[in-house]
Amino acid sequence: MGLVRRRAGDWGWDGVAPREYASGAERHTIIGADEGARDVELRYFRIPAGGASAFESHPHEHAIVILHGRAEALLGEEVAEVGPGDAVFVASQEPHQLTVVGDEPLGFLCTALVGRARP
């Protein structure tokens, strides 16, 4: 059965406790297995100014939409600056990382497979 997850506050969602990382980044799993999703998760990440996502490569793809802030998106050996409204596709096995540019935190939505292998 489907559901609607309501946004709460600036960048939070009702019923979603963020997972905080030592780097200061946060992951909010908005929709995932706990909500009955079998195939895909929808997550919101917030990375503080001066920070970066993990540099990683894995079998699953990602689709990302930048909501606020700016970043340099490393995709393989290419780097592109991205900002609000930009969409980023990360291919399977592609090394990738988002590095915050400027003084504002970066916020983005990201999809991933529910049953993916974790790096």
Query: Containing domain of residue 36, as a range?
Result: 18-113
- The verdict on residue 82 lying in a domain is yes
SS3 labels along 87-109: EEEECCCCCEEEEEECCCCEEEE
Helix (H, G, I), strand (E, B) or coil at 71: strand
**Cα dihedral 9, 39, 85, 80 in deg (nearest 10):** 120
Residues of the chain with pLDDT under 50: none
Residue 8 lies in a domain: no
Q: Is residue 7 part of a domain?
A: no
Q: Is 66 within a domain?
A: yes
- What is the number of structural domains in the chain? 1
Domain assignment present for residue 74? The answer is yes
> What per-residue confidence (pLDDT) applies to 117?
57
Tell me, yes or no, whether 6 lies in a domain. no
Tell me if 69 is assigned to some domain.
yes
pTM of the model: 0.92
Q: What is the pLDDT of residue 113?
A: 87
Phi-psi region of 63 (alpha: psi -120 to 50; beta: other; left: phi over 0): beta
